[in-house]
Amino acid sequence: MPKCTINGKEIEVKDGTTIIEAMHHHDMHIAHYCWHPGLSVAGVCRLCMIEIEGMPRVQIACNTVVTEGMKINNTSQKVKEAVKWGLDFHLINHPLDCPICDQAGECGLQEQYMEYGKYDPEMAEKKVKKHKVVDLGPTVVLDSERCILCSRCVRFTTEVSKSNELGIFNRGDRSEIGTFEEKPLNNKYSLNTVDICPVGALTSKDFRFRQRVWYLKDAETVCNGCSTGCKVQTFFNKEGLFRVKPVYDKEVNGYWMCDDGRDLYKFVNREHRYLKASHREGSGWTQVIPGAAAKEAAAAVTAAGDKLALVLTGQYTVEEYEKIVSIFSKDLKTKKIYHWLNNKETVNSFDGLLIRGDKNPNTKGLLQTLQKHNISTAWSELESGLASGAIKTVVVAGPENHAFFKDIEEKVQLFNKAGTVIWLQAAKNPALEKLSGNAWIIPMKSYVEKDGTFINHAGQHRKFKRVTTVVSESLTLGEAAELLAGHQIMVKPESNLLVEADRQADKVTVEHRKKNEFVFKRGAL
Amino acid sequence: MEMKLLTEHYHKDEFRRLDGYKKFGGYEVLKKALKMQPQQIIDEVKASGLRGRGGAGFPTGTKWGFLPKNNEPRYLLCNADEGEPGTYKDRLMMERAPHQLIEGMIIAGHATCSKKGYIYIRGEYNYIILIVEHALEEAYKAGLLGKNILGSGIDFDLDVYAGAGAYICGEETGMISSLEGKKGQPKLKPPFPAVQGYLRKPTIVNNVETLAAVVPILRDGAPAYKKIGTEKSPGTKLFSLSGNVVRPGNYEVPLGFPMKDLIYKLGGGLRPGRRLKAVIPGGSSAPVITAAEAESATLDYECLAQMGTMLGSGAVIAIDDSQCMVDMLAVLTHFYHHESCGQCTPCREGTGWLNKVVHSIVEGRGRLQDIDLLVKVADNMKGRTICALSDAAALPVLSFVTKFRDEFEFYVREGRSKVKGVSHAQVHH
C-alpha cells in the first residue's frame, strides 16, 4: 500500500494504482480525454500531465504507477502550460462549431478550455478537412472533424462489446475513426460510444438535434428494461424525457448500459400514455378521470366475491406489490392472484455483459411478495377458471413497457371471457381497444413517476426516487388497489412541476414534432 | 582512416553466399559461442561496451540483461526497418553479408535464450528481402538454424517479415505492433519490450549492425573490441555519408573519428568552390550542426551529445552553401507530417502544424511571428508523446530555426530564398 502526496495531500493507494486512478478515487480534478476508468490505458491525449518531484519532464498520470513517497502535483505553472499546449494541439484542427454541435454544454473540450485555455489562438493555417456526417450504423453518426482521436470508442468495441467494429484508419492528422466494409457499428451496446465520446464526434441518431443539453434536467433512476436493473440517468424537461444514460454502479452495470434500455424513455412521454381512464359500457368508450374510474370500478370488484382474480406483471415496484397483494388477499379475500410471465423461453438467458432475457425489472420482487402472502397459483388455473366461469372479474396490472409482451392481444381475448376487466396500464396499447364487455382502462404511473424498489435478478434491492411527473392524474398500483377495494383515499393530483394536464401548448409541440418525425426517427439521418 | 571490422570482405561477391562466408572464417564464432553459457555471452557483450547502433545508443549487454529470469518464451527481433532519412548502412550489410547478420542473431538468440527470431525488413528493400531469405534457406540446409544447431542441442528459428513502408515501424514497439499484425503504432512504456513485447512475451529488439557486431566481439574478445573507438563509445561503426560530398557512401570507422576527416578525406570533400554550411550528423532527426561545430566534432556518442545533437543511426548529411535551409526544413517537416502515426495528439497535430507553417513561409505567405511560433510548437511537442517521433520532428525544426534564423527571416521578408534567390514555389512548379 504505497503512500504518496498529491497536491500536498497525503493519500494511500492500493499497489499498482496509477496516479490518475488515485486522483479519480479522491475526487481530485485532472484534465483527461483518452483515459476512461472502464477501459484500458491508451496514453494518447497527453492531457493528464503531472509533475513528479525528481523528474525533469512532466509525465502522464494515466500510465504512471504510484510508488512509495512519490510527490505529485498537477497545479504548477509547468503543468498548466503543458495542458494548455495539449489542449491547443487538440483544438487547432477542431472545427469549433459549438453553436451547432450537440455536445455543446457537456463537451470535454469546452470544459478544459475554460480551465486551461482562454488564450488567443495562434493557428493561422487552414484546418484539416475530414468527413462529416458519417453513418456508422443504425444508432450512431460520426463527425470526423470534431473527433480528437482519443480512441475511447475503438477501445470500447474491442474490450467491452467485443464486437470490434471501429478502427482508426489512415495516419497522422489524416486519421479518422471508421468502420470496416460491410460491418457497421451495430451492436446492443453501440450508444455507449456516444456517452464516452468526450467531444461531439459521435452523436446518437435518436437524440441529435432534439434538445440543447442545457435545457434538460437530469435525475437518476433504475432502468426497467430487464432484470439487470442498471442505474441510469434520465434527461427531461417539460416536453418529456429525451434520453437515458448509464450511471456508474460498481455492482450492477459498471459504466455501461444497453441500447434497448435507452429507448425506454419513449413510452413514458405523454403522447404514448393514457391521460384519462376509459370505461366501456355497451359499445363505446367514455373518458373518465382516473381516480373516479377506479372508484366506479370498485363496485364491480367488491361485488365479485370469490369470482375475482388479479393478474400481475413483473413491472411494478415491491411496495406496490405488497399493497395490492395484501389488499386483494386480506380485504377482498381472494387467493386468485396470477403471475403473467411474458417470455418463458428466454427468461434465464444472458448475453454475458448486461442484457438479460427476463424483460421485467422486478420479477423477483413479485415472486417474493407472492411467497410472503402464501400465494402459489398456476397460469392454467386462471385459464380454466375463465373457461368455467369461476372467474368473472379480472384486475390486470398490465406491463408499462409492453414492447416485450408480444402476447397482449391474445391475453385481451382471454380476459374478455371474464366479462369484467379492469386493466391498469401506463402506456397506450392498441390491443386494449379490443377489450369487450364491461371494461376499464385506468392510467398508471410509469417508473419515472414514483419512488420504489425493484429486486433484480441477483436479488439486489434497487431503490429509486421519482424523476418527474408526466401524467399527473395517473395512479400508482397501490392507490389503484385501495380505490378498487372501495377504500377512501385522497389522490392528490401531484403538483406537476411544469405542466398542467392537457395544456394546449403541449399538443402543439406534439403536432409539431410529428411533422418533423423524419428527423427524429431512428435509423434515418 | 577506415577500420574494416565488419565490412572487411564486403567487396567480395562470394561473401554473400554461405560457402564464401565460411571461407573467410564465417560461423566459426558461432561454434565457439554455442559452447558458452548464455550469461557468459551477455557478460562478454557487456564488457565490450557495445552500444545499440540503431540510433539510441543503449548498451546492448545491459538491454539483454533486462530479460526476466524465467522460462517464458522470448523473442529476438532484428530491426532492419531502416527508415531514417539519410541512413543506408543496414541495406549494405544485408546485401553484402546476410550471413554475418544471421550468425550474430543465432549467437544473440542463444545469449537471450530465445527460440525464435524475426528480421523485420522495410518493404522498400524488396531485393534485400530476397537475399536474406535465400541466406536463411542456405543456413537451414546447413543445419545452422532450426533444431539442434550444429549438434549443440540449441534450437533457433529465424524468419523474415516485410514491413509495408512506415517510418514509425522502425520504432521498436511500433515494429512489434506491426509484427503482431496490428497497425504499426508504438506502445506505451512501461511495460518495456524486454518484459512484455512481441505477443506480450519478453522481447529483445536490436539493430542489424548491433547484432552483426556481436560476431567480431566474440571472435576477438571484449578487451580487443573495447580498445577500438573511445572509452564510452567503443568499436567501429558504419557511417552513411550523403549530401553534397564527392564520394557519398558507407564508411566503417572507429567511433571517435573526426567528422571533418569523414567528409573531406573519405568522402572526397565538397564540390569545387563550395563551402560547408551545416551537417546533420545522425539521420534527419538529429539536430543540425554548423560548419564550425562540424570542424571540431568527432563521431561518437558523447561528443555529439555535448553539442546538443546525436550520433543517431550514423547518417551524416553534409550540406554546402548552395542549399537553402528553409527549403530543406520544408522537406523534413513534410516527411514527419506524413509519417506521424497519429496516435498522440501533440505529434499528430504538431507535425501537421509545423509543416503548414514552414510551407506557408516557403510559399511566401509567412509572417515574422511564424518563426517564433515554430520554436514554440516544436518545444511543446518534445518529450510529450509515447515514442520519439515527436522529438524527431521537433528537433530539426528547433535547430534549423535557431542556427539559421537569418535565412528564415530573409525568406519571410523577401518571399524568396536567401541562398537560391527564388522561392520554393518557383523552383518546384
Question: What CATH number is attached to the domain comprising A17?
Answer: 3.10.20.740
* Residue B380 to residue A44, Cβ atoms within 8 A: no
Q: Is residue B199 part of a domain?
A: yes
Cα dist. B162→A310, B81, B132, B229, B238 in Å?
Answer: 73, 9, 11, 34, 23
The reply to whether B293 and B335 lie within a common domain is no
CATH number, residue A208: 3.30.70.20
Q: Is A80 on the interface with B (CB under 8 A)?
A: no
Chain A residues near residue B367 by CB distance under 8 angstroms: 124
The reply to whether B282 and B384 lie within a common domain is no
Cα–Cα distance, A297 to A438 (Å, whole number): 10
Helices B368-381/B345-362 angle, 10° precision: 160
Q: Is residue B287 part of a domain?
A: yes
**pLDDT at residue A238 in the model:** 85
Q: Which amino acid is at A178?
A: G
User: Listing from the earlier edge strand, what are the strands of the sheet with A9-12?
Assistant: A9-12, A3-6, A70-73, A49-52, A59-60
**Mutation for B interface: A35, A46, A151, most B CBs within 10 A:** A46
CATH number, residue A327: 3.40.50.740
Q: Is A148 on the interface with B (CB under 8 A)?
A: yes
The reply to whether B208 and B75 lie within a common domain is yes
- Domain extent, residue B372, equals 325-428
| Cell numbers found for residue A364 | 423477483
Q: Is residue A477 part of a domain?
A: yes
Cα–Cα distance, A89 to A78 (Å, whole number): 17
Query: What values do phi and psi take at B254, rounded to 5?
Result: -65, 145
Interface of B to A at Cβ within 8 Å reads 166, 183, 188, 190, 337-346, 348-353, 356-357, 360, 367, 369-370, 373, 376, 380, 383-386
Q: Is residue A514 part of a domain?
A: no
Cα dist. A3→A14, A54, B375 in Å?
Answer: 9, 17, 39
The reply to whether B146 and B284 lie within a common domain is no
**Nearest residue in chain A measured CA to CA from B359:** A125
Cα dist. A282→A240, A367, A413 in Å?
Answer: 35, 37, 17
Q: Is residue B281 part of a domain?
A: yes
* Residue B346 to residue A128, Cβ atoms within 8 A: no
Nearest C-alpha neighbor of A439 from the set A457, A418, A465, A468: A418
Cα–Cα distance, A52 to A54 (Å, whole number): 6
Q: Is residue A132 part of a domain?
A: yes
Q: Which of B205, B227, B249 is the last residue of a domain?
A: B227
Rg from Cα positions in chain A: 27
**pLDDT at residue A525 in the model:** 42
Q: Are A369 and A321 in contact (CB under 8 A)?
A: yes
**Nearest residue in chain B measured CA to CA from A90:** B345
**A515: how many CB neighbours lie within 10 A of its CB?**
8
Q: Is residue A321 part of a domain?
A: yes
Cα–Cα distance, B113 to B102 (Å, whole number): 16
- Enter the DSSP assignment of B287: P
**Nearest residue in chain A measured CA to CA from B342:** A172
| Percent composition of chain A: helix, strand, coil (DSSP 3-state, to 5) | 30, 20, 50
Establish how many alpha carbons lie within 13 A of residue B159's alpha carbon, considering only the half-sphere containing its beta carbon: 7
The reply to whether B182 and B105 lie within a common domain is yes
The reply to whether A258 and A288 lie within a common domain is no
One-letter-per-residue 3-state SS of B149-217: HHHCCCCEEEEEEECCCCHHHHCHHHHHHHHCCCCCCCCCCCCCCCCCCHHHCCEEEEEHHHHHHHHHH
**pLDDT at residue B357 in the model:** 97
**pLDDT at residue B34 in the model:** 95
User: CA A14, A15, A16 angle in degrees (round to 5)?
Assistant: 115
Q: Is A127 on the interface with B (CB under 8 A)?
A: no
The reply to whether A391 and A323 lie within a common domain is yes
Rg from Cα positions in chain B: 22
Q: Are A134 and A142 in contact (CB under 8 A)?
A: yes
**pLDDT at residue A472 in the model:** 86
CATH number, residue B419: 1.20.1440.230
Q: Which of B204, B227, B250 is the last residue of a domain?
A: B227
Cis geometry, peptide bond prior to residue B272 (ω within 30 degrees of 0): no
Q: Are B194 and B67 in contact (CB under 8 A)?
A: yes
The reply to whether B78 and B201 lie within a common domain is yes
Strands (E), A62-174: 70-73, 134-135, 140-142, 166-169
Counted domains in chain B: 3
Q: Is residue B111 part of a domain?
A: yes
Which ranges of chain B have pLDDT less than 70? 427-429
**A371: how many CB neighbours lie within 10 A of its CB?**
10
User: CA A428, A429, A435 angle in degrees (round to 5)?
Assistant: 115
* Residue B386 to residue A44, Cβ atoms within 8 A: yes
**pLDDT at residue A506 in the model:** 44
Q: Please name the member of A85, A123, A149 whose beta carbon is closest to the beta carbon of B348.
A: A149
The reply to whether A233 and A344 lie within a common domain is no
Q: Which residues of A393-432 are buried (b: 16+ CB within 10 A; e: fewer)?
A: bbbbbbbbbbebbeebeebbebbbbbbbbbbbbbbbbebb
How many angstroms from the chain centroid is the CA of residue B339?
A: 16
The reply to whether A284 and A238 lie within a common domain is no
Q: Are A46 and A53 in contact (CB under 8 A)?
A: no
* Residue B188 to residue A41, Cβ atoms within 8 A: yes
The SS3 call for residue A236 is: strand
* Residue A173 to residue B356, Cβ atoms within 8 A: no
Q: Is residue A490 part of a domain?
A: yes
Establish how many alpha carbons lie within 13 A of residue A123's alpha carbon, considering only the half-sphere containing its beta carbon: 23
CATH number, residue B22: 3.40.50.11540
| Cell numbers found for residue B350 | 504538431
- Domain extent, residue A45, equals 3-91
Q: Please name the member of B342, B367, B384 whose beta carbon is closest to the beta carbon of A149.
A: B342
The reply to whether A277 and A410 lie within a common domain is yes
The reply to whether B177 and B89 lie within a common domain is yes
Q: Is residue B2 part of a domain?
A: no
Cα–Cα distance, A83 to A32 (Å, whole number): 9
The reply to whether B116 and B170 lie within a common domain is yes
Cα–Cα distance, B15 to B343 (Å, whole number): 43
Cα–Cα distance, B75 to B116 (Å, whole number): 6
The reply to whether B115 and B184 lie within a common domain is yes
Q: Which of B227, B257, B273 is the last residue of a domain?
A: B227
The reply to whether B332 and B417 lie within a common domain is yes
Cα–Cα distance, B118 to B160 (Å, whole number): 6
Q: Are B101 and B143 in contact (CB under 8 A)?
A: no
* Residue B188 to residue A173, Cβ atoms within 8 A: no
The reply to whether A326 and A201 lie within a common domain is no
**pLDDT at residue B209 in the model:** 97
Q: Are B248 and B242 in contact (CB under 8 A)?
A: yes
Q: Which amino acid is at B231?
A: E
Helices (H) and strands (E) in chain B, counts: 19, 11
Helices A318-326/A477-484 angle, 10° precision: 10
Q: Are B123 and B162 in contact (CB under 8 A)?
A: yes
| Cell numbers found for residue B168 | 514509425
Q: Is residue A108 part of a domain?
A: no
Q: Is residue B276 part of a domain?
A: yes
Counted domains in chain A: 3
The reply to whether B81 and B171 lie within a common domain is yes
**pLDDT at residue B20 in the model:** 96
Chain B residues near residue A124 by CB distance under 8 angstroms: 360, 367, 370
A284 Cβ partners below 8 Å, 6+ apart?
A: none
The reply to whether A228 and A136 lie within a common domain is yes
Which ranges of chain A have pLDDT less than 50? 495-508, 516-525
* Residue A171 to residue B351, Cβ atoms within 8 A: no
The reply to whether A251 and A314 lie within a common domain is no
Query: What values do phi and psi take at A423, rounded to 5?
Result: -105, 120
**Surface of A (151-180) touching B: CB under 8 A:** 151, 167-168, 170-175
Q: Are A185 and A191 in contact (CB under 8 A)?
A: no
The reply to whether A68 and A183 lie within a common domain is no
The reply to whether A171 and A285 lie within a common domain is no
Q: Is residue A305 part of a domain?
A: yes
**pLDDT at residue A491 in the model:** 54
Q: Is A93 on the interface with B (CB under 8 A)?
A: yes
How many angstroms from the chain centroid is the CA of residue B191?
A: 23
Chain A residues near residue B339 by CB distance under 8 angstroms: 171-172
CATH number, residue B299: 3.10.20.600
* Residue A63 to residue B190, Cβ atoms within 8 A: yes
Cα dist. A276→A265, A288, B81 in Å?
Answer: 20, 6, 75
Q: Is residue A107 part of a domain?
A: no
CA-CA-CA-CA torsion sign (B25, B26, B30, B35): negative
| Cell numbers found for residue B401 | 530555426
Q: Please name the member of B166, B345, B357 whose beta carbon is closest to the beta carbon of A125.
A: B357
User: Listing from the earlier edge strand, what are the strands of the sheet with B157-162?
Assistant: B157-162, B116-121, B75-80, B203-207
Establish how many alpha carbons lie within 13 A of residue B197's alpha carbon, considering only the half-sphere containing its beta carbon: 28
Nearest C-alpha neighbor of B281 from the set B264, B305, B248, B265: B305
The reply to whether A438 and A382 lie within a common domain is yes
Q: Is residue B3 part of a domain?
A: no
Nearest C-alpha neighbor of A366 from the set A317, A310, A407: A317
Q: Cite the DSSP H helix spans in B49-97.
A: 60-65, 89-96
The reply to whether A280 and A256 lie within a common domain is no
Chain B residues near residue A128 by CB distance under 8 angstroms: 352
Q: Is residue B7 part of a domain?
A: no
Q: Are B281 and B87 in contact (CB under 8 A)?
A: no
Residue A27 burial class via C-beta count within 10 angstroms: exposed 0-12, middle 13-18, buried 19 and up: exposed
